[in-house]
Structure 1
């Protein structure tokens, strides 16, 4: 008579083990994604320089992408800059009025718009509209296997698609930042002299006394860096899209979220560094 042995008991993983496994997998996946993004950024920068030197840069694609970025961001930038300049002027103006220093409204409003408001709004706008457009375009090309077709033909997708978009974004970002600074400062100026009783001369006097050229350069530099982060993240998520239309949508969402998070963290770091080495002082 054959005796059957009982099957060994299968030990179910505990909730703690499942959480630790998922957490470790998420961390490893995030580090790998970050590494691929850094690799793409280095390849794009080096490739842009080499393409310019060898005369193989995609000028037509770059100008087309730059015009598209301007078309989708210029008007929303104006709509964002006006309320931001008004809010800064109203909120700071109320506090300054209680302290009896109404003449300093031009300095505080100008510094708020130039050093923080304009570059952050530029980055968030590019991270919303620009990143979504880039990730959707490249993601659709990826799921239609156009990217694989380029590789089969010996064409590097980074040189053909990523580098023109990167250069276009880097060129458009400071222009958009200047537009936001102009509109935001003028909106704050209108509220200051119209609703808060500040004279025009005192507003521009304090604005010019506390705002130096270095603040403008820092603002422009931040906008360029934010645009670079946006285009690298969006291209990386678009080129790695998979799973059909659902994968494209997931790539667009990831590109927008990661761009915004990266902009906020980098802005915090730059603000701390500039506050240490470039404190606000009377010009």
Structure 2
């Protein structure tokens, strides 16, 4: 009996496969969310709990990231304002730029990075402890109970 190695797949095919899995999971999750909302089966308590968890997890890192971004913007705008003779307006411009532009970017990065990894960690630990398998055995929809909120 001979054992044959599987055909080499290559990095492009692997990326395309994983991207397809990600898109499929996202579509499936959105469909489950819509069905849960329409049937009024979405757990409001779990949704609020997860929202507060994401806010608690993301607040510290986003504030720590905003400090260097704010300093960089303040130095850049202060230097530019000094060159054109409008040094008195640099404070208002810095505040406007930080609140209007940088804060949205930092919030998006924090939500995607910190909250996404925290949620994936939670789901992974549930899979390891076989909680997800137990929910499936009990006939509960795992996507509706854990992913949709």
Q: Same fold (TM over 0.5)?
A: yes
1:67 to 52, 55, 61: 52
How many residues are aligned here? 141
Partner Cα separation in structure 1 for residue 145 and residue 49 of structure 2? 13
Partner Cα separation in structure 2 for residue 158 and residue 25 of structure 1? 31
Q: Does 1:141 align with 2:130?
A: no
1:97 to 82, 91, 98: 82
Cα offset, 1:138, TM superposition = 0.6
Q: CA 1:104 to 1:46, structure 2 compared with 1: closer, same or farther past 3 Å?
A: farther
Secondary structure in structure 2 of the residue aligned to 1:147: helix
2:30 to 9, 33, 45: 45
What pairs with 1:1-283 in structure 2 (closer than 5 Å)? 21=8, 24-102=9-87, 105=90, 106-107=92-93, 110-111=96-97, 113-115=99-101, 117-164=102-149
Cα offset, 1:109, TM superposition = 5.1
Partner Cα separation in structure 1 for residue 44 and residue 38 of structure 2? 13
Partner Cα separation in structure 2 for residue 95 and residue 152 of structure 1? 64
Larger deviation, residues 119-128 vs 130-139: 119-128
Secondary structure in structure 2 of the residue aligned to 1:114: helix
Structure 2 unpaired stretches of 5+: 1-7
Deviation string for 1:196-248 (max 9, x for gaps)?
A: xxxxxxxxxxxxxxxxxxxxxxxxxxxxxxxxxxxxxxxxxxxxxxxxxxxxx
Whether contact under 8 Å (2:32, 2:148) holds in the other structure is yes
TM-score of the two chains, using structure 1 as the length reference: 0.45
Structure 1 unpaired stretches of 5+: 1-20, 165-283
Partner Cα separation in structure 1 for residue 19 and residue 43 of structure 2? 27
Whether contact under 8 Å (1:44, 1:158) holds in the other structure is yes
TM-score of the two chains, using structure 2 as the length reference: 0.78
Secondary structure in structure 2 of the residue aligned to 1:155: coil
Cα offset, 1:75, TM superposition = 3.2
Partner Cα separation in structure 2 for residue 36 and residue 104 of structure 1? 50
Secondary structure in structure 2 of the residue aligned to 1:31: helix
RMSD of aligned Cα (Å): 2.3
Whether contact under 8 Å (1:85, 1:113) holds in the other structure is no
Point out the structure with max Rg over C-alpha. Answer: 1
Partner Cα separation in structure 2 for residue 109 and residue 63 of structure 1? 31
Secondary structure in structure 2 of the residue aligned to 1:56: coil
